[in-house]
Amino acid sequence: MNAIVDDNAPSMLQRFRQSHFWHSFCIDRVAQISFLVFVAYLIAALLAPFIAPYDPYDPATIDIMNSELPPSWQEEGDSAFWLGTDAQGRDLWSTILFGTRVSLIIGICAVMLQAMLGICIGLVAGYVGGKVDSLLMRMADVQLSFSTMMVAIVVLAVFQATFGTQLYQELAMLMLILVIGIAEWPQYARTVRASVLAEKEKEYVDAARVMGLPALRIMFRHILPNTLSPILVISTVQIANAIISEAALSFLGLGMPVSQPSLGSLISSGFEFIFSGSWWITVIPGLVLVGLVLVMNLLGDWLRDVLNPKLYKG
């Protein structure tokens, strides 16, 4: 007995290193590479102002004479512009870095908004049950019956038409976050509700109720931590989805303005020139976007497998 008593509690780091999670990360090559690539994207996005050789938001540094220069490894390329320039003469590499930043900010913030709404609604629906549950879940059904893109296009188009393009361009990022965030909350609400229904039946919730703990505290301190695994899994996939939605909206001209391009609007702006030979303005940001979404999905898949209680119970 003493032998067990004497050893000190393993620290959080030790626990983590002994966990199934860490172990399966160590043996899964795809997860490691995806994670590394994702971290590279994150660093590039965070440090964009320091990495980028030019400031694409500053019109003073742009020279229209440099427009549509091909990447530097091509014959007509200019060594000053590694990936060439876009139609306005901006350095494509810098613009992509800043665009990735914009895309990631929109993706992450929109998903945070979705998660906040969805988790609260899902927790309440699952925990309270009955009529509240029916009402909230029917709302979710209604929301899901409109496709995200349709809602976004209608809202953004109406906003643009009523308040004018000028204001729209100023608020574009906020509007995109709001629209994508609000349109997709049922994903979270349904997932959370399902887990809450399963957790609610367990006796530790009864024990907390017998203690007299208030419902909110039971929901957020006892039930929510036990529903985090599925939330984590859908979050990765939802960020990828949000980035795609943003890119699609930008491509349709309802997203970020040309002066502050995201990856989507960059692809869109290059699309006019793709048949005149300037393929790089579209293709390179396109590859960057595909890479980002791909690693997020791979990470999500891996997380789903690791955290699946049917495969591993812990």
Partner 1 sequence: MQNTETLLQIRDLYKRFSISGDLLDQLQFKGGKLTRHQEFVHAINGVSLDIAKGEALCVVGESGCGKSTVARTVMGLLNPSSGTISYEGKRIDDLSAQALMPYRKKMQMIFQNPYASLNPRMTINETLSEPVSFHNPSWNKGEVRDKVHEVMFSVGVDPSWGVRFPHEFSGGQRQRISIARALAVDPEFIVADEPISALDVSIQAQVLNLMMDAQEQRDLTYMFITHDLSVVEHFGSRVAVMYLGTLCELATSEQLFDSPRHPYTKALLSAIPKLQDDRPNHIKLQGEVPTPVNLPTGCVFHGRCPHADKRCQEEIPKLIATDSGSQVACHAIEEGRI
12 part of the interface to partner 1, by CB under 8 A: no
- Closer to partner 1 by CB, 9 or 64: give it: 9
Nearer to partner 1 (CB atom), residue 1 or residue 60: 1
CB atoms within 10 A of CB 125: 24
Task: Report how far residue 84's alpha carbon sits from residue 98's, in angstroms, rounded to the nearest whole number.
Answer: 15
d(CA 255, CA 97): 18
Confirm or reject binding of residue 277 to partner 1 (CB under 8 A).
no
The span from the first CA to the last CA of the chain, in angstroms, equals: 25
Q: Select from 65, 145, 162, 214 the one that contacts partner 1 (CB under 8 A).
A: 214
Burial of 143 (0-12, 13-18, 19+ CB in 10 A): middle
Residue 202 binds to partner 1 (criterion: CB under 8 A): yes
**Under a CB-based contact definition with an 8 Å cutoff, are residues 261 and 194 in contact?**
no
Query: Can residue 203 be called a binding residue for partner 1 (CB under 8 A)?
Result: yes
> Taking the CA of residue 12 as centre, how many other CA atoms within 13 Å lie in the half-sphere pointing to its CB?
0
Q: Tell me: does residue 13 bind partner 1 (CB under 8 A).
A: no
x-or-dash string of contact with partner 1, 226-245, rule CB under 8 A: x-------------------
Q: Work out whether 134 is an interface residue with partner 1 (CB under 8 A).
A: yes
Q: Is 19 in the site for partner 1 (CB under 8 A)?
A: no
Q: 19 in the Ramachandran plot: left (φ > 0), alpha (ψ -120 to 50) or beta?
A: beta
Which of residues 49 and 309 has its CB atom nearest to partner 1 in the complex?
Answer: 309
d(CA 298, CA 283): 22
User: Minimal distance in Å, beta carbon 295 to partner 1?
Assistant: 29
Closest distance of CB 154 from partner 1, Å:
32
Residue ranges in contact with partner 1 by CB under 8 A: 1, 4-5, 9, 134, 202-204, 206-214, 222, 225-226, 314
